[in-house]
Amino acid sequence: MVSRRDLLRTMIAGGVVAATQPTIAVASAVGDTGVRDFITKSKNFNMTFTDDIILRGGQYRLLKQVTNRLSKIQSLVGYANFALLNFDAAIQYAAKYSSVGAFTNSEKDFLEQIFYTNAHDYGFFGEKILTRLTDGIPSRDVKKVRGTGHFIYKGDSQRLYNKIRKDVGNTIILTSGIRGVVKQMYLFLSKALGAGGNLSKAARSLAPPGHSFHGVGDFDVGKRGYGYRNFTADFSNTVEFKRLKELGYVKIRYPEENPFGVRYEPWHIKVVKI
């Protein structure tokens, strides 16, 4: 495992600094064991901690530029299609359409650096599932779910989703399906940008690109008409969630106090065979 100090060395000089303020001193709150550390962090996922990794200066500018370009690609290809887009296609779209504009070499290097940095450095301890930046989603394996703007994998994911709908009712809906590397990169960088360049804070809410099980079959569900609250702890108070819990076959990927450094996500369904 690459230490945080190694990451700081490998990142472009002057671009990255540790958090300044406001911060929580984890050690004084709960003691200084590593396990408690990251449980405290994932419970307080929206706080800033002293050892968070935050992009500054040139790296922060690259974060902004790249996020902006990815957003334009999403507008160009459409929300649903963007979720399946692979990295090479994204680079080609950008170069071809002046409304997006080609990625510069520094921007491409930045994307590589984000993808290949050991996510443990951000405090994320889930496994890496899609290991290459250029990994894609085979279009023959996916099915668009009508009325949701999302795709789902044929086979186990589709069967599981249909069974959940049958058992809970049609007030439960797909809120996020398959997400390829580019989509996850975009979500992760947008989250980091919203957090002032804080990659660690972003990683407490969202798997870094390559680490999301949305790439291989997991999906999110929510209550119809519940909006953004479907992605908050409020979802666990809905009738739909209570029904989900009663179904023996539904597994939540990131339960409370999970060992991955990720906040509690009652809406994120782990793909299982049924």
Binding site for Zn ion (CB under 5 A): 220, 268
> What single string gives the DSSP state of each residue in 224-248?
TT-GGGGGSGGGGGSHHHHHHHHST
Residue 69 or 253: the one with the smaller Cβ distance to Zn ion is 253
**Which residue number has the CB closest to Zn ion?**
268
CB-wise, 110 or 254, nearer to Zn ion? Answer: 254
Largest Cα separation within the chain, whole Å, is 54
How many Å apart are CA 69 and CA 65, to the nearest integer?
Answer: 6
| Nearer to Zn ion (CB atom), residue 69 or residue 204 | 204
The CB-of-246 to Zn ion minimum distance in angstroms stands at 21
What 3-state class would DSSP assign to 151? strand
Q: Which is nearer to Zn ion, 67 or 205 (CB)?
A: 205
CA angle 18, 180, 152 (to 5 degrees): 135
220: amino acid identity, one letter = D
Q: How far is the CB of 176 from Zn ion (least distance, A)?
A: 6
Q: Which tokens belong to 54?
A: 């935050």
d(CA 74, CA 62): 18
Min CB(174)–Zn ion separation in Å = 11
Identity (one letter) of the amino acid at 148?
T
- Cβ closest to Zn ion, residue 197 vs residue 215: 215
Residue closer to Zn ion, measured from CB, 48 or 157: 157
Vertex 36: Cα angle to 229 and 254 (nearest 5): 35
d(CA 223, CA 36): 32
Q: Which tokens sit at 98? A: 């002046």
Shortest separation between residue 33's beta carbon and Zn ion, angstroms: 28
Nearest distance in Å: CB 244, Zn ion: 14
Min separation Cβ 156 and Zn ion, Å: 16
HSE (side-chain half, CA atoms, 13 Å) at 97: 16
- What's the closest the beta carbon of residue 220 comes to Zn ion, in angstroms? 4
For residue 86, what are the contacts with CB-CB under 8 A and spacing of at least 6?
134, 135, 136, 137, 180, 181, 182
